[in-house]
């Protein structure tokens, strides 16, 4: 009897372990701490074409390669992993509305697929949970200011692209410690630096300070807002994050942004891009080409305001992009006017940028079109 | 022996029920395992512990063992484990003291003391721990003055929002030649314990409390003799000093560590207070009356009659509170203390080895808890009612 009990215990334990790691539980890091995850806004949707199927398939079970697009079409909405508490990129405001740069791309995919920019179900994910959520099929696409790196692309089994925001890691310090933005990292000798865990930032911080031979103490938080709060309270001399994040969060969270200075030192390249699970090229193509369509639209001067006038354009490039001629959309498994829908309902790349980030004083810089000296470049639509 | 239909044989049915149950469990485990492997295969992911020797390349704020960012992931997880062990061990020690004091205070005949203890238990036990940790961290410790305006207490002890700085001892080069005296001092404590036990077994009266001073006096005497032969002291006091942006030297309790420790101690202490109260009240009043009628003082009654019997009731639930404290320390992630769970989370994110690291976390907490239970069970069997 005793032996049997031991066996039963071992088996029970093993099943608990497996259950904790299996596809059904995508957030093993989810102790009660990750409160953010529970913020879910369900958008009501009339499924297009699929009929009643959508009702019987609730949230995505993991699907074999190549079937994600069909799953999304059948379900009638896009499940999009976003930040949730990051103003300017992914933010759930007090009125319950989602806003932000990353959020608008989710809307664009929904618009392209369903001609309805609200056919999105947003999932707020922590930095630690985000990739697991994607791997397990809990979200269709991740649009959560995530840096495209080799490890994530190759080892985590993700497919990134295209880059929607070229960012770089920066460090912000109090003015009474570092007065000039031009100061080097050695001005921070012996400093405490607040940083968010599970980010590339945490690694770059270690690399850069080690390379510069500067001693420091990291204070690592699981949540970016807590890191900012601790910095505000004076726990740290400096805080490090992506430059965009320091600018937007700094203005939103810090009581007096003018007392702080963001150093000019660029600590890393941080290309932020949406990601999908690896092994589903069809779905990845849809995600990529909707974004390219928005970049191309800005290059052609097509905005959400004037897109209808362009429908009668004689320019073949415009006509192909908007689906007036050719079958670019149906080759992807979409409607031919998918780019038109995204532009009409959400806007071109420049509009999305302007709407979400201009108010934080983030200049276009590297994120300008290639024709204006930036890096935003869409492959040809033909 | 008469042969009966086997489905009517109770022994067979009992075995059958167990076999069916185990088959069911095995099937469930098999399904979960297949699900995991299928998902991993679909993602093109492989499972293995190869990553554990790769350089971690992230820094950790506080560590009790040497660590730098070029060390391996395994080392980083070990740092987290040690951090968890330190906060749990200290927490268990302190929370026991807090709990016993509060538990006895609740039974005090002094109105104010018993009401204060009641309020402590009522408030702390009924609010979530995570909220309390946030309160300690953001509400109390980070509200202390900045480093440059540190509150200096005698010692000197500095209270700042960067942590609490205490003077601490540092080993001198002469420490090695002192080793013999340190061992002698420790041995003297053990010898005294045996002597006391011997006296106690031959006498019915308890050892007078002041005799216990011998535990302190004997080692001090030995070390003092050592000082006669070795003029240089083995340790020197290292006083914290403000250099640059922060204090250096001495012992630093980081705000994260302090907040976590306070939070865990205060929270668990409120549960232990109730356990202690229940244990004491479980001793029947007749025992107390009998002790008093034998002429024992209040202190003697408590020491010789009430506590030995109360411990039997107290120890088992106390064990689960200790386990709770150790497991609750994983909430450290919310206030930035680099415990096992927090560091393992970072490792998961950097390597993508979810399955492997979760197994490490679970096994670590499991062995910690089993070890604590083992110790407490040994102790429990010693205080148990011995029937002759």
pLDDT tens sequence across A266-296: 888 889 999 999 888 899 999 999 999 999 9
Residues 275-304 of A with CB under 8 A from B: 277-279
- Residue contacts between A and B (CB atoms, under 8 Å): 173
B321 pLDDT higher than 50: yes
Inform me whether the pLDDT recorded for B387 exceeds 80.
no
Contacts of B329 in chain A (CB under 8 A): none
Least confident of A264-273, B84-93, B259-268: A264-273
Cβ atoms of B64 and B86 within 8 Å: the answer is: yes
Give the SS3 label for residue B134.
helix
Q: For the residues B250-279, what does the mean pLDDT come to?
A: 93
Give the Cα separation of B359 and B353 in Å (integer).
10
Output the pLDDT for position A24. 39
User: Does A156 touch chain B if contact means CB atoms closer than 8 Å?
Assistant: yes
Helix or strand or coil: residue A98? strand
Strand partners, B236: B170
Name the nearest CA neighbour of A378 among A311, A310, A321, A314: A321
Confidence check: pLDDT of B18 > 60: yes
Q: How far is A186 from chain B, CA to nearest CA, in Å?
A: 13
- Are the Cβ atoms of A135 and B330 closer than 8 angstroms? no
Determine the pLDDT at residue B10.
Answer: 85
- Is residue A57 very low, low, confident or very high in pLDDT (cuts 50, 70, 90)? very low
Distance between CA atoms of A64 and A121, rounded to whole angstroms? Answer: 22
Sign (positive or negative) of CA dihedral A131, A32, A103, B350: negative
Instruction: With a cut of 90, say whether residue B215 has pLDDT above it.
Output: no
Q: Provide the pLDDT for residue A253.
A: 85
Banded model confidence at residue B330, pLDDT cuts 50, 70, 90:
very high
Question: Chain A residue with minimal CA distance to B339?
Answer: A220
Nearest CA to CA, how far is A179 from chain B (Å)? 15
Q: By percentage, how much of chain A surpasses pLDDT 70?
A: 83
pLDDT category at B4 given cuts 50, 70, 90 is: low
Q: Which residue of A has its CA nearest to B61?
A: A218
Q: Which of B18, B35, B142 sits opposite A233 (nearest CB)?
A: B142
Side by side, which strands form the sheet with B157-160?
Answer: B151-153, B157-160, B163-166, B251-253
The string of pLDDT tens digits covering residues A112-168 is 999 999 999 999 998 878 998 998 889 999 999 999 988 888 878 899 989 999 999
Q: Which two tokens stand for residue B359?
A: 């197994």
Q: Is A67 helix (H, G, I), strand (E, B) or coil?
A: coil
Q: Is any Cβ of chain B less than 8 angstroms from the Cβ of A218?
A: yes
Residue predicted with more confidence, B1 or A307: A307
* Interval A28-53: pLDDT, tens: 443 343 334 344 444 444 333 333 33
The better pLDDT of the pair A45, B300 is held by B300
A195 touches chain B (CB under 8 A): no
Question: Of B29, B44, B330, which has the smallest distance from its Cβ to A18's Cβ?
Answer: B29
The residue whose two tokens read 């409607």 is A335
Q: Give the per-residue pLDDT at B71.
A: 92
| A108 neighbors A346 (Cβ within 8 angstroms) | yes
B-chain residues near A278 (CB < 8 A): 43-44
Q: Is the pLDDT of residue B317 over 70?
A: yes
Question: What's the confidence (pLDDT) of residue B197?
Answer: 84
Contact A62 B44 (CB under 8 A): no
For chain B, give the percent of residues with pLDDT over 90: 45
Nearest CA in chain B to A218: B61
Which residue in A1, A19, A23, A29 has the most chain B C-beta atoms within 10 A of its own C-beta, making it the best mutation to test that interface?
A29
CB contact under 8 A, A22 and B39: yes
In angstroms, the CA A171 to CA A375 distance is 23
Closest partner CB to A207 (pick from B28, B57, B355): B57
pLDDT recorded at residue A41: 44
Using an 8 Å CB-CB cutoff, list chain A residues near B69: 206-207, 210
Smallest CA–CA distance from A8 into chain B, residue: B22
pTM of the prediction? 0.74
The pair of three-digit structure tokens given for residue B357, joined into one six-digit string: 């690291």
- Nearest partner of B102 among B237, B270, B260, judged by Cα: B270
What's the confidence (pLDDT) of residue B203?
78
Q: How far apart are CA B287 and CA B308, in angstroms?
A: 12
Write b or e for each residue in B326-364: b if 16 or more Cβ atoms lie within 10 A of its Cβ, otherwise e: bbbbbbbbbbbbbbbbbbbbbbbbbbbbbbbbbbbbbeb
Q: pLDDT tens across B168-214, in order? A: 877 777 777 778 888 888 898 899 888 888 887 887 777 777 888 88
Name the closest residue on chain A to residue B133, using Cα atoms. A33
| A-chain residues near B59 (CB < 8 A) | 205-206, 209, 216-218
User: Of B259, B333, B143, nearest to A221 (Cα)?
Assistant: B333
> Which range among A70-84, A99-113, A166-180, A333-347 shows the weakest confidence by mean pLDDT?
A166-180
As a whole number, the mean pLDDT across chain A is 83
Chosen for mutation from A36, A188, A219, A277 (greatest number of chain B CBs closer than 10 Å) is A219
Does residue A233 belong to the interface with chain B, where contact is any CB pair within 8 Å? Answer: yes
- Provide the pLDDT confidence category of residue A110 given band limits of 50, 70 and 90: very high
Residue A15 has pLDDT above 60, yes or no: no
For residue B39, list chain A residues with Cβ-Cβ distance below 8 A. 22-23, 62, 135-136
Nearest residue of chain B to residue A200 (CA atoms):
B350
Nearest to A198 among B25, B62, B345 (CB): B345
Kindly tell me if the per-residue pLDDT of A175 is higher than 50.
yes
Percent of chain B's residues with pLDDT above 70: 97
Pairwise CB contact (< 8 Å): A220 & B32: no
| Nearest chain B residue to A149, by CA | B350
The confidence band for B3, taking pLDDT boundaries of 50, 70 and 90, is low
Chain B contact set for A32 (CB, 8 A): 128, 130, 331
> Nearest Cβ partner of B59 from A132, A206, A229?
A206
What is the pLDDT at residue A31?
A: 39
Question: What's residue A18's pLDDT?
Answer: 45
- Rounded mean pLDDT of B232-243? 77
SS3 state of residue A268: strand
Structure confidence at residue B111 as a pLDDT band (50, 70, 90): very high
Q: pLDDT by residue (tens digit) across B23-72?
A: 999 999 999 999 888 877 776 777 788 889 999 888 898 888 999 888 99
The radius of gyration of chain A's CA atoms, rounded to the nearest angstrom, is 22
Q: What angle do CA B278, B284, B287 make, to 5 degrees?
A: 130
Task: Among B29, B143, B330, select the one facing A11 at the smallest CB separation.
Answer: B29
Give the number of other Cβ atoms within 10 Å of residue B69's Cβ. Answer: 19
Cα-based angle A79, A84, A86 (whole degrees, multiple of 5): 135
**pLDDT confidence of A378, banded at 50, 70, 90?**
very high
Nearest CA in chain B to A206: B58
Instruction: Identify the weakest region by mean pLDDT among A81-90, A333-342, B139-148, B332-341.
Output: B139-148
Shortest Cα–Cα distance, B127 to chain A (Å):
14
Whether residue B343 is predicted with pLDDT greater than 60 in this model: the reply is yes
Is B238 a residue whose pLDDT tops 50? yes
Confirm whether the ipTM is greater than 0.85.
no
What integer pLDDT is reported at residue A59 of this predicted model?
A: 45
Mean pLDDT to the nearest integer, A57-62: 44
């Amino acid at each position: 009897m005793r032996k049997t009990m031991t066996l039963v215990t071992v088996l029970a334990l093993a099943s608990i372990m497996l259950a904790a790691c299996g596809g059904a539980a995508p957030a093993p890091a989810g102790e009660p701490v990750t409160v953010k995850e529970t913020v879910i806004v369900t958008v009501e949707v009339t499924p297009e074409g699929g009929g009643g199927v959508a009702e019987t398939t609730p949230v995505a079970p993991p699907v074999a390669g190549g079937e994600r697009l069909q799953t999304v079409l059948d379900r009638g909405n896009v499940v999009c992993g976003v930040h949730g508490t990051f103003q300017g990129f992914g933010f759930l405001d007090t009125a319950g509305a989602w806003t932000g740069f990353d959020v608008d791309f989710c809307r664009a995919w929904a618009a392209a697929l369903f001609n309805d920019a609200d056919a999105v179900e947003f999932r707020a994910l922590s930095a630690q949970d985000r990739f697991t959520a994607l791997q397990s099929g809990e979200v269709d696409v991740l649009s959560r200011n995530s840096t495209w790196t080799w490890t994530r692309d190759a080892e985590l089994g993700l497919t990134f692209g295209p880059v929607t925001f070229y960012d770089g890691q920066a460090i912000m310090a109090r003015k009474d410690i570092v007065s000039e933005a031009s100061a080097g990292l050695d001005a921070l000798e012996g400093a405490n630096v607040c940083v968010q865990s599970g980010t590339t930032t945490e690694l770059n911080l270690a690399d850069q300070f080690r390379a510069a031979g500067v001693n420091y103490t990291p204070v690592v938080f699981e949540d970016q807002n807590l890191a900012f709060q601790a910095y505000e309270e004076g726990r740290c001399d400096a805080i490090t994050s992506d430059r965009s994040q320091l600018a937007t969060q700094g203005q939103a969270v810090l009581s007096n942004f003018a007392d702080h200075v963001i150093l000019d030192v660029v600590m890393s390249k941080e290309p932020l891009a949406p990601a999908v699970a690896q092994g589903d090229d069809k779905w990845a193509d849809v995600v990529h080409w909707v974004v390219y369509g928005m970049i191309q639209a800005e290059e052609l001067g097509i905005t959400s305001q004037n897109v209808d006038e362009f429908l009668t354009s004689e320019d073949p490039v415009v006509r192909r992009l908007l689906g007036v001629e050719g079958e670019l959309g149906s080759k992807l498994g979409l409607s031919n006017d998918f780019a038109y829908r995204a532009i009409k309902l959400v806007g071109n790349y420049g509009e999305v940028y302007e709407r979400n980030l201009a108010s934080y004083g983030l200049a276009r810089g590297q994120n300008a079109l290639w024709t204006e000296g930036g890096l935003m470049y869409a492959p040809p639509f033909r | 022996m008469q042969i009966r239909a086997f489905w009517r044989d109770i022994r067979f049915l009992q075995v059958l029920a167990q076999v069916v149950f185990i088959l069911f469990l095995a099937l469930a485990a098999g399904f979960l395992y297949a699900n995991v492997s299928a998902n991993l295969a679909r993602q093109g992911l492989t499972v293995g512990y190869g990553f554990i020797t790769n350089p971690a390349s992230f820094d950790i704020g506080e560590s009790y063992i040497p660590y730098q960012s070029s060390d391996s992931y395994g080392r980083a997880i070990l740092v987290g484990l040690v951090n968890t062990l330190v906060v749990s061990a200290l927490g268990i020690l302190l929370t026991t003291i807090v709990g016993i004091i509060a538990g006895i205070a609740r039974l005090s005949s002094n109105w104010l003391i018993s009401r204060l203890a009641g309020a402590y238990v009522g408030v702390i036990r009924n609010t979530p721990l995570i909220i309390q940790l946030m309160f300690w961290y953001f509400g109390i410790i980070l509200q202390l003055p900045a480093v440059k305006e540190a509150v200096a207490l005698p010692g000197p002890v500095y209270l700042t929002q960067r942590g609490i700085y205490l003077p601490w001892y540092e080993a001198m080069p002469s420490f090695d030649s002192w080793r013999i005296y340190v061992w002698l001092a420790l041995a003297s404590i053990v010898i005294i314990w045996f002597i006391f036990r011997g006296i106690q077994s031959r006498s019915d009266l308890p050892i007078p409390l002041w005799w216990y001073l011998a535990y302190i006096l004997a080692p001090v005497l030995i070390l003092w003799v050592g000082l006669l032969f070795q003029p240089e002291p083995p340790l020197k006091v290292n006083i914290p000093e403000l250099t640059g942006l922060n204090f250096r030297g001495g012992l630093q309790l980081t705000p994260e560590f302090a907040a976590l420790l306070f939070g865990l101690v205060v929270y668990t202490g409120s549960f232990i207070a109730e356990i202690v109260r229940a244990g004491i009240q479980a001793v029947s009043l007749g025992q107390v009356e009998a002790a008093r009628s034998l002429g024992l003082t209040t202190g003697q009654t408590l020491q010789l009659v009430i506590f030995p019997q109360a411990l039997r009731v107290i120890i088992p639930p106390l064990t689960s509170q200790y386990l709770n404290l150790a497991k609750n320390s994983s909430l450290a992630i919310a206030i930035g203390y680099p415990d096992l769970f927090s560091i393992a989370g970072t490792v998961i994110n950097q390597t993508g080895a979810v399955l492997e690291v979760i197994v490490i976390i679970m096994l670590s907490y499991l062995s910690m808890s089993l070890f604590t239970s083992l110790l407490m069970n040994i102790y429990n069997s010693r205080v148990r009612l011995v029937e002759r």
